[in-house]
Amino acid sequence: MARIEIEYLGQPEVDRVALSNDDILDAVEQTLAAAGRNKTVIEPRMHLTPDPAFNGHFNVLRGYVAPLDYAGVKIVGDYVDNYKQGLPSELALLNLFCPRTGAPRAVIDAAGITDMRTGALTALGAKWLGPKTPKILGHVGARGTSYWNVRLLDHLFDFEEIRIHSRRPESREAFAERLRQDLGKDVTVTTSWQSCLEGADILVEATRLSTPAPMFNRAWVKPGAFVVPYGTMSTLPLDFIEGFDKLVMDDLGQMRAGHLGALRPHIDAGLVSEETFYAEIGEIAAGLKPGREADSETILFWHRGMSTSDIALGAKILERARELGIVQNLLYRDT
């Protein structure tokens, strides 16, 4: 007879755990290094669009992290118009399983995890690939992941100037005010892409376009800058990748699948292939390849989201929730 219980954490429990900036960065960094050492498995994400009229889709991410002894599947609903109903644009569940038996172990609210792991990947990319002492951050987009991009980047670099922009004035003003309160410093709201990005040391694009559009001008990127474009729909002109010293990917398997992402038009046009990329970020995290090697290098980092990072943060949150005694145990089966 086997009794199987599932550990459950909803948003209230995840919020009570309240991982610190360093908790988040450390968990993701360790898993990136494991990926570089081939101790993880990542299956390319899959998409489900129930009906184009709903203006949204589901992302399904799958992975395995050997050092953590978890396999995991995260399902994310990505619905652009959710703000009209007072809902986050991304709602998600992370399911953790025993990799040896397939038994379910945990179900965790992952909307916040998605935001945190995305911001951690942006920040860790900048740690290894960005300028040594960046002073100016330019960030386009105010979606859920944007907050953790800016928060974790500023945690590492303590910028002298943070510029933000997004399409809707109300969203960018609210985003800026939240950042001012939480970071304790001024944040500049800009009215255009150019005024936000031009001349910045680190440039992040996290937009929510409904269709691809070439809005990110290559001329705004100064030599030696670090660029992170990861909007679902590409904002990059086809000539954007010219002149970069290094292109880095989170996981090359992600570039082979799907029809979305910042460099998808470049792949479809034959301008980008696996051979174009200098490294996967895990190889750099594991010390197998150097990151930035000169101040003059201009580097682009494209990340599409790694299921292993979701698993890492889910495992860390679950561990802390057990310590706090706030895990709910649900009976799965008793046979």
User: d(Cα 245, Cα 249) in Å, to the nearest integer?
Assistant: 14
Spell out the domains of the chain, with CATH numbers in brackets. Answer: 3-113+308-334 (3.30.1780.10), 118-304 (3.40.50.720)
pLDDT of residue 12: 96
SS3 2: coil
Tokens, residue 89: 């644009």
Share of the chain above pLDDT 70, in %: 99
**Is residue 144 pLDDT above 90, yes or no?**
no
User: d(Cα 260, Cα 177) in Å, to the nearest integer?
Assistant: 31
**Is residue 22 pLDDT above 90, yes or no?**
yes
The H-assigned helical ranges of 165-306 are: 169-183, 193-197, 252-255, 264-268, 281-285
* Mean pLDDT value of segment 101-105: 96
Q: What is the pLDDT of residues 156-171, one digit of tens each?
A: 999 999 999 999 999 9
User: d(Cα 197, Cα 227) in Å, to the nearest integer?
Assistant: 10
Q: Amino acid letter at 41?
A: V
SS3 14: helix
283 vs 304, more confident = 283
User: d(Cα 56, Cα 210) in Å, to the nearest integer?
Assistant: 10
User: d(Cα 318, Cα 38) in Å, to the nearest integer?
Assistant: 24
**Is residue 281 pLDDT above 70, yes or no?**
yes
User: d(Cα 308, Cα 38) in Å, to the nearest integer?
Assistant: 12
Q: What is the pLDDT of residues 221-270, one digit of tens each?
A: 999 999 999 888 899 999 999 999 999 999 998 777 667 789 899 999 99
pLDDT of residue 68: 97
**Is residue 1 pLDDT above 70, yes or no?**
no
